[in-house]
């Protein structure tokens, strides 16, 4: 299996989820980035981090274009759902969507990249352009905020010792 096919199988869904934090056209952004990836003459050192970084930039640009278009048309676009709803889940999907979308962009990006993208904090730091310690701080702060918003009594990292 080629690196491109393997990357699509492994990362496409997670990259689309990651892009949804920035724009409504997440699938288009993800497909466009995979097109760029396929045209590279040399594979990036860390393909997963490269994909997340390029998807993030493209999604931010797409989101700006969407907001300009919506303003011109005076139409409000409803954000796409981040999770599939399931009656068996303890957590209501709509509550989780609202809580996650309500986080600051920098925290939301780190949480989505870490939990759904399975990126390391080092990879996330490269994607969002910060230090590893800043990525960790954003991740921890975002998780605390999500716990509070959702009323979840999850253990913090300090109580796991």
pLDDT at 137 over 90: yes
Model confidence at 97, in pLDDT bands (50, 70, 90)? confident
Is position 86 within any domain? no
The answer for residues whose C-beta is within 8 angstroms of residue 137's C-beta and 6 or more apart is none
Please tell me the predicted confidence (pLDDT) of residue 133.
95
DSSP E strand stretches across 53-105: none
Lowest mean pLDDT among 16-25, 68-77, 95-104: 68-77
Is position 10 within any domain? yes
pLDDT at 86 over 80: no
- Residues belonging to the chain: 161
- On whether both 76 and 107 belong to a single domain, the answer is no
Are 128 and 21 contacting, i.e. CB atoms less than 8 angstroms apart?
no
Is position 109 within any domain? yes
Q: Between 76 and 36, where is the model more confident?
A: 36
Which H/E stretch holds residue 56? helix 47-73
- On whether both 66 and 97 belong to a single domain, the answer is no
**Residue 101 belongs to what domain range?**
91-152
**CATH number for position 107:** 1.10.10.10
Please tell me the predicted confidence (pLDDT) of residue 139.
94
* 142 C-beta neighbours (distance < 10 Å), count: 22
- On whether both 9 and 68 belong to a single domain, the answer is yes
> Which pair of structure tokens corresponds to residue 43?
């594979």
Please tell me the predicted confidence (pLDDT) of residue 7.
87
* 3 C-beta neighbours (distance < 10 Å), count: 13
Q: Give how many domains the chain has, as a whole number.
A: 2
């Amino acid at each position: 299996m080629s690196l491109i096919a393997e990357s699509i199988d492994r990362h496409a869904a997670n990259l689309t989820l990651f892009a949804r934090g920035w724009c409504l056209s997440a699938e288009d952004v993800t497909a466009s980035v995979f097109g760029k990836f396929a045209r590279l003459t040399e594979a990036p050192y860390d393909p997963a981090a490269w994909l997340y970084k390029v998807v993030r930039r493209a999604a931010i640009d797409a989101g700006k274009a969407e907001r300009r278009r919506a303003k011109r048309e005076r139409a409000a676009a409803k954000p796409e759902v981040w999770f599939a709803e399931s009656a068996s889940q303890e957590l209501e999907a709509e509550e989780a969507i609202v809580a996650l979308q309500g986080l600051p962009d920098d925290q939301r990006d780190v949480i989505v990249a870490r939990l759904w993208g399975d990126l390391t904090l080092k990879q996330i730091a490269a994607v969002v352009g910060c230090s590893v310690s800043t990525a960790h701080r954003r991740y921890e702060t975002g998780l605390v905020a999500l716990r509070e918003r959702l009323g979840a009594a999850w253990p913090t990292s300090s109580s796991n010792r």
